[in-house]
Amino acid sequence: MFQNLSDKLQSVFKNLRGFGKLTEKNIADALREVRMALLEADVNYKVAKDFIESVKAKALGQTVLDSVTPGQQVVKIIFDELVTLMGAQQAALDLGRSPSVILLCGLHGCGKTTTAGKLARLLTKQGHHPLLAACDVYRPAAVTQLQTLGKQLGIPVHAVPGETDVLKIARGAMEVAAAQGRNVIIFDTAGRLQIDEPLVQELVRLKEVVEPREILLVADAATGQQAVDIAARFNAALGLTGIILTKLDGDTRGGAALSMRAVSGKPIKLVGVGEKLEDLEPFHPDRMASRILGMGDVVSLVEKAQETFDGAQAEKMQEKLRKADINLEDFLNQMQQFKKMGPLENVLGMLPGMSNIRDLSVEQKQLKRMEAIIQSMTPAERRRPEVIDGHRRQRIARGSGTTVADVNQLLKQFWAMKNLMKQMPRLGRKMAKMGGFKLPAR
């Protein structure tokens, strides 16, 4: 996610750090590049303009111009402004009374039904007892799809096949939730190819009947600028309480995530980062800003690890990541664990600097090849990869059914990761001296 934007911003920052002293011209040139990067990422024009003006006002301050590390000062300012732009703090779901009603709305094809299932799973993990209500009576497969998801998750679905009165279905869902002791009801509603008056009026009537605590717009991140307009129109009609961005893993631009909060005034509460039912996460503005700027997101990585590993394994991994004290044996163990945490390229993307290394976008077949290579090494070679010379590489390649080039590529990736991990604590300490900023990974 955000790959193109991240690449371009990091290129700008590299140039900035190359200047021993910044001038107004240096800053103006750099911010012009940042503005172009934002616009190419589908960030709303006004949002990009306001963002650049805010950064420029702070970057031209005398403190930055006179700083011994002016380039890093500007990076800090951009980080802070990105966090502010996306909402400053995480906006949690408001689930006050019981049963608490969540109304999902959005256009056709945005992923509402799948998101309803993902949300039900997430709430179940948090100790809630959700009920899914099938209120999309127009798309033939919608009810069946929701019932299938409910069966996979072990979560009840209220559906009335053949019924076309959405309000009657909704009232029935409220009665079922009360009878079964379900404390959250998630309403999956119908979408359209575009916003039209009948759709809006149906949702307004549904809102009056179920009195939702949360009205969440489900929006496809890949729709870019259009997603911002959709948010504004749904908000005007229903009074949104938040946004769920879907398919964020497949969108390399990410402009919707940077624009929607600023334009609609509504927080992004959750993001879909994959196709699996577990791939729905709370949206953290500071962590997202860190990933956009290539600083990684070790906090989220450790949280994912804690869900997959036992406590002792999670602590051990966190300590090794912080100290960059890993060998190929650790690398193999972590790869095998990471497979349980989702697509490996997404997980590695949370490590500092990994978004810059193109050949770390690893498919499952490549992962198997990497495992075979490491498993063909001796225990001593895994623990001390620096001893792997040319002869050993040939033997490892023969034993794993790969080529010497494959072995070289793996070792190159390993050393690149280890070197980047060593550099991040130093960068964090430097930036901490410039006003209390520290990397989320710390």
- Mapped onto helix, strand or coil, the DSSP state of residue 195 is coil
Percentages helix, strand, coil for the chain, rounded to the nearest 5? Answer: 60, 10, 30
* Mean pLDDT for the stretch of residues 415-437: 57
Distance in angstroms (rounded) separating the CA atoms of residues 21 and 18: 9
Please report the pLDDT score of residue 147 as a whole number: 94
Q: Where are the alpha helices (DSSP H) in 349-436?
A: 364-375, 379-383, 390-400, 404-432
* Mean pLDDT for the stretch of residues 282-289: 85
Amino acid at 260: M
Interval 9-45: pLDDT, tens: 878 877 776 666 777 888 888 888 889 888 888 888 8
For the chain, percent of residues with pLDDT exceeding 90: 31
> Quick check: 431 pLDDT over 90?
no
Amino acid at 385: P
Compute CA distances 355 → 39, 81, 133, 221, whole Å. 20, 21, 39, 19
> Quick check: 101 pLDDT over 90?
yes
**Which band of pLDDT confidence, cut at 50, 70 and 90, is reported for residue 87?**
confident
> Quick check: 263 pLDDT over 70?
yes
For the chain, percent of residues with pLDDT exceeding 70: 76
> Quick check: 273 pLDDT over 90?
no
Spatial neighbors of 218 by CB under 8 A, at least 6 apart, are 104, 105, 106, 110, 111, 112, 115, 243, 244, 246
- Mapped onto helix, strand or coil, the DSSP state of residue 134 is strand
Determine phi and psi for 236, rounding to 5 degrees: -60, -35
Please report the pLDDT score of residue 435 as a whole number: 42
Lowest mean pLDDT among 133-137, 354-358, 395-399: 354-358
> Quick check: 168 pLDDT over 80?
yes
- Mapped onto helix, strand or coil, the DSSP state of residue 136 is coil
Q: Whole-number mean pLDDT of the chain? A: 80
> Quick check: 306 pLDDT over 80?
no
Please report the pLDDT score of residue 311 as a whole number: 59
Compute CA distances 190 → 150, 176, 196, 207, 393, whole Å. 18, 21, 12, 13, 58
> Quick check: 393 pLDDT over 60?
yes
Please report the pLDDT score of residue 434 as a whole number: 41
Q: Count Cβ atoms below 10 Å from residue 409 Cβ, excluding itself.
A: 17
> Quick check: 438 pLDDT over 60?
no
Distance in angstroms (rounded) separating the CA atoms of residues 37 and 50: 14
The answer to whether the CB of 189 falls within 8 A of the CB of 103 is: yes
Please tell me what DSSP assigns to residue 435: T
> Quick check: 441 pLDDT over 50?
no
Interval 45-63: pLDDT, tens: 888 899 999 988 888 776 6
> Quick check: 439 pLDDT over 80?
no
* Mean pLDDT for the stretch of residues 407-417: 88
The two structure tokens encoding residue 89: 């703090």
